[in-house]
Each structure stands twice: as C-alpha cells, then as structure tokens.
Structure 1
C-alpha cells in the first residue's frame, strides 16, 4: 500500500500551549533515553514509566514511545535520542472539521485539546479522506521546526493495480534530469534551465558570503531547496501522467545507491560546478516522488541495477566505447540513439536485473 505523510501546521498555538508541547517533548525524550538502556526494554509496557518517574504522563504517548524505542533498539540504530517527539496512534488523535476549519485533537498534560491547523489547498483533499475513512491513518507525531509546531500524519490506502502491460524506463542525469522510454515514445527533461537557475543561486550566495550576510545565505539555501522540491514535483507528476495516458503498468528506475560516482561531469572546465550540482541535486527525492505518485495511480514501481545500461546496444553488444557523451553508436551493428534514451530503454528492460 502506498504511504505519504501529511504535515499540518498548528495554527498560532498560544505561548502556554507551546510551553506545554516543549515540556511534553522533554519528558518524552528523557524517558526514551532511559528506556533505551533498560535491561527489560523488550518486555516493557506502559507501567514501566512509573520506574522512570513519579510524574504523571500520557499513557498514549508512553505506549507509542515504547514501540519506537523497541524498534530502534532491535535495528541497532539508536545510541541515544536528541528528540523523541510525542506520538499518537489513530485512536488517540482525531482529525475533524469544524465549519470552515480543520482541527486535530489529542491528549496533553492538561486535557484533550482540539487545535486548528493550517490546511493548504492540496492537503484538504487528503484531510477529507482521513475524515471519511477512505485512507488509513497511521501513528502521528507532534514536532517543532523553525519555531512552528506541526502534526505529521502518515496515511496509507489501497490502490487498484494498473492492468497496463507497458513498461516505462527512466534514466536520470545532469544534462537531462530525466529521460523516459515506453515502447516507441520518450520524454526528455532538460537540465540546462535548472543548472542556470542553480548557478544564479550559487553566485548570489558567494556574493553574500563576501559581505558576511550569513542569515541571508541561509534563507537563500532554503529558497533553493523549496524550488528544487517544486521542480521534482512537477517532473514526477508529468512522468506519471504520461505513464497513465499510455497504459504503463510498471515504472522502472535505476538504483541510485552509487549515482554520484557513476555520473561524470560534461567538461573539465565545468567540473567544479557540475560536481556541486551532482552532489546537491535531489535525485533521491525525485525518485521517491515518482515512486509514491506511481503507487497512488496503481502503477508498480521497481528499481533495477544500473550496470552497463549506458553501454549496451539493443543487439546485445556491450562496450564502453559505444557511448560518447550524448551519442550512442554501437561498434558492432552501427545502431545510433540518444545515449540517455538508450539508457532508459535498457533500464526498462532491466538488462542487469532488478535491484535487491
């Protein structure tokens, strides 16, 4: 089942409420770190909190924290928690509509409260689905970011698997951020325009750096990050829409584990700038956007091994010299193609097999 997380900003909580949220977070974090070292953590129940403190705390949060600590300890991922945000399962957190406003209600140190949230237009449809019960609500978290408080609610839903038989392969890179192949049809997303915009951001930050305007630099980075996210949303939406329009049942993308080492800069004189773009463009984010949008549409998503996808011809001949920049020409049969499109075709065929 596909899953997304709905992040809802609490609408202007009072200073008293913010102080209470801080207190809840601090107590929960201290409890989580104490529990992590408890000799019987795997068998812990909500009663274990009495060993930690005589203060009263929310059993709903305690139970959720115990589950989180057990999970982290089992995977050996945590040596300590900087923050353990308070979590609420679907029985303890409710999303409701009050007139024109949406509210979330959850237990606190004082009582159960209903808090209005800022619902963006694109979020309202998901909130309505939560209220109607057409999606499944997961364990939510109350957290703070940049002095604002949010509720993050994971939601999952059933999708009807597409009956399309076509396979779409997607190749990622710098000169073309994405190239798709589906049968005889293809789609290219050029990287030159976004590279130009990113150079402008970089040049502006260098200028601000010389002027020692560090706060403005920080805001510039945040602005660029939001812009990149928006670009990835637009690209992924176009790709999935094209897949639906052409009866695609499976989307395949290369495993991005080693993409930074596999992708090379176009020119030596651009190596420094291209390298910066390569290491900071959100390829993984783009892949995840395509994944969840595809799953929402009932299209199966698969990752394939990327080895030799740029060197292999449709005749089966594989040779590094087959590719020269954006030109692919088979040294054996003479077949020519756009190099990134050839890569997308081979990814669609999964010539090196599916990723584990």
Structure 2
C-alpha cells in the first residue's frame, strides 16, 4: 500500500533567481489561460504540442501547461462553460523527469537568454522530507508558487505505508491548557504545545474582531478570522509532527486517542475557556495525527474516553482532579491530570475508529 502526500520546501532564491521565478511563473499561467481561452472558443480540446506554443519556457514546462489547460477546460465544460476558471496566482510546474533534489537545493531548468539551462536553487529542506524522498515509491510533479514574499516548492509523493511490527503503545490526551500529552507503555512522557499561548492568540483575535465589529469593518473582521484559522492550523501541524516524531523516536507501533464524539461536553468550561474550546478543532488535530502516523507506518486506534481523567492509574479508584493536579483519595498517588488521562487511554477499551467531529 502507498500513501499520497505533498511535501513543502522553502526556497531561498537570490534577487536574480527571484526575478526569474516571477517572470517564468507569470508566463506559465498566461500560457495556460490563453490555451484555455482557445479551447473554449473552439469548444474542444487543443491538439497543440510544445512546438506550437511560442513562449520562453522549456518544452517540458510547455507540455505541463498544455495538460493543465486541458484539465481546466474539462472543468469548464462540465458547467457548460458558464464558469471558466482563470489562473491568477503565479505558479510554474515541472514533471518528475525535469528536477532533482539535493539536501540543500532543488535543480530545475529555466529559459535564460533564449537557451534552456538547469539552475540549482538553495532551499531549506528538513530531514524528514529528505527521508520521505528517499523511500518514495513514486515522485510526482514539482510545483513552485509564491505565498506573500516567500517561494514554496511543493513535491507530490507516494510513500509505502506498511505498518511497523512494533507493539509498543502510546496514549495521547488532547486538551486546551496542554494541547497534547503523550505517554508510552514504558513510561516515556512528552508534553506538546503551549496552551497558554494558544488561548492568548485566540482571545486577542476575538477581542480585536469585537472592536472591528463596532466600527463595521467587515473586511478587516474576515481577514482577522482567516489569520486566526491559519495560525491554528499551523499549530495543529506542528503539534501533530512533534507527536509522531516522539512516537518514532521511541519505536511506538500503536497510538491511541480518545474518540472525539462529545469531547466539548466532557471538557469543563470556564468563562475564559469558552471561546478557546469553541474554536479549537480537536477533530482536525486528530486527523493530522492519523495522517502523519499513517505515513510513518504507525497504527492509530480510538478508545472509549469514559473516566480516563478520573481513574487512578495505581489503584483504579475514581477521583476528580483539582486544576492540573490529580491526587487519589484512596492510595495517595499524585500526578499531572493530563498525564493520568494519557496513561489511562493506553489501557482503555478500543472502539470503532469512525469518530465524530468535535
């Protein structure tokens, strides 16, 4: 079995290389849009080849532009040409035979002074991405796009997903004050994320939108909401990556999570936590964990969340924790509340993995 995924790499182009990326990517989308307009006018797919496209792009890039134009035309045809997509954001694409990746750069061809030349562009490539490239069963296209003032390379991959033979289990407790607590059945522990910072950022955006609402600045409110969502999504990616890295470091074969159905009802709310809890996507974080675990060959199981934060891991007696400290009234055991939850998740009964949105 293979898992499809896309790795993202930050490019570090020089000034000249930046100008080359700008001109080439704009030329690319102009070519795609022109080819689409021709097809729409004739109501059929073009039979043009790279020789028929007179622009300063490599033949492989021209062929990719033709393929993209055909794809856009087919989408337009489904709407009976009432909606014809137009590319606006600069982008340029190479197929897998026209680029190479090294530990510090990406090499791809450009047309420079009328001639095709391969250019090696510096890039920040993380070790895990190099590992994925090394084990990939198939490497797809290289897509370079501009986000703000940063140039990002996206490479499509297929990697094997055979599950590791390890039977070591790790429980993960998700929450607000501590985004994630991991503990293995051999007592290795990791606290992931900064709940206080997360809550501060979300409350800041919420307070700012209230002020903007009074001023009736709807566009600014939308931008603030989008910015908050992007930040939260980025945090979920970072948290899930730390969890999987920790699991791989300790040779974990199974990760267990609480079933997400009803998690908001299970979590105690306070006035300050209401906005944080309502806006935090536990489901999305769990999906990121499952996705990254699948790529790493780690199995993910859902467990029954009943009493995981109340049951004493030493004697099994049920207690209510006071704030973050759990103290057993029966045996006197003392521990961090979320650590108790993660430990109990390891031994909780496994249930159907089709969890509901939180």
- Counterpart of 2:93 (choices 84, 87, 94) is 87
Structure 1 partner of 2:297: 298
| Deviation (angstroms), 1:94 | 0.7
Matches within 5 A, 1:34-113: 47=47, 55-56=53-54, 58-64=62-68, 66=70, 81=85, 83=87, 85-91=91-97, 93-95=98-100, 102-106=105-109, 112-113=116-117
Match of 2:173, SS? strand
Whether contact under 8 Å (2:203, 2:276) holds in the other structure is no
Q: For each residue in 1:144-193, what CA deviation from the matched residue of structure 2 results, as whole angstroms up to 9, or x when unmatched?
A: 22144433112343466321113334232213312345447465557543
| Deviation (angstroms), 1:112 | 3.9
- Counterpart of 2:253 (choices 249, 253, 261) is 249
Structure 2 partner of 1:19: 23
Structure 2 partner of 1:166: 168
Structure 1 position 193 matched with structure 2 position 196: yes
> Gaps (5+ residues) in structure 2?
56-61, 312-317, 327-333
TM-score, normalisation: structure 2: 0.60
Structure 1 position 354 matched with structure 2 position 358: no
Q: For each residue in 1:249-271, what CA deviation from the matched residue of structure 2 results, as whole angstroms up to 9, or x when unmatched?
A: 12243566x7786575621x32x
> Gaps (5+ residues) in structure 1?
315-320, 329-335
Whether contact under 8 Å (1:326, 1:339) holds in the other structure is no
Match of 1:157, SS? strand
Whether contact under 8 Å (2:178, 2:193) holds in the other structure is yes
Between the aligned partners of 2:159 and 2:43, the Cα distance in structure 1 is 38
Match of 1:243, SS? helix
Structure 1 position 309 matched with structure 2 position 315: no
Whether contact under 8 Å (2:94, 2:143) holds in the other structure is yes
| Deviation (angstroms), 1:205 | 5.5
| Deviation (angstroms), 1:232 | 5.2
Number of residue pairs matched by the alignment = 317
Structure 1 partner of 2:58: none
Whether contact under 8 Å (2:305, 2:345) holds in the other structure is yes
Between the aligned partners of 1:127 and 1:83, the Cα distance in structure 2 is 31
Whether contact under 8 Å (2:110, 2:116) holds in the other structure is yes
Between the aligned partners of 1:82 and 1:89, the Cα distance in structure 2 is 22
| Deviation (angstroms), 1:238 | 4.7
| Deviation (angstroms), 1:350 | 5.9
**Are the structure 2 counterparts of residues 189 and 68 from structure 1 closer, same or farther at C-alpha, using a change threshold of 3 Å?**
same
Match of 2:126, SS? helix
| Deviation (angstroms), 1:14 | 5.0
Structure 2 partner of 1:145: 147
**Are the structure 2 counterparts of residues 137 and 228 from structure 1 closer, same or farther at C-alpha, using a change threshold of 3 Å?**
same
**Are the structure 2 counterparts of residues 150 and 187 from structure 1 closer, same or farther at C-alpha, using a change threshold of 3 Å?**
closer
| Deviation (angstroms), 1:138 | 1.6
Structure 2 partner of 1:114: 118
| Deviation (angstroms), 1:353 | 0.6
Match of 2:179, SS? strand
Between the aligned partners of 2:230 and 2:146, the Cα distance in structure 1 is 19
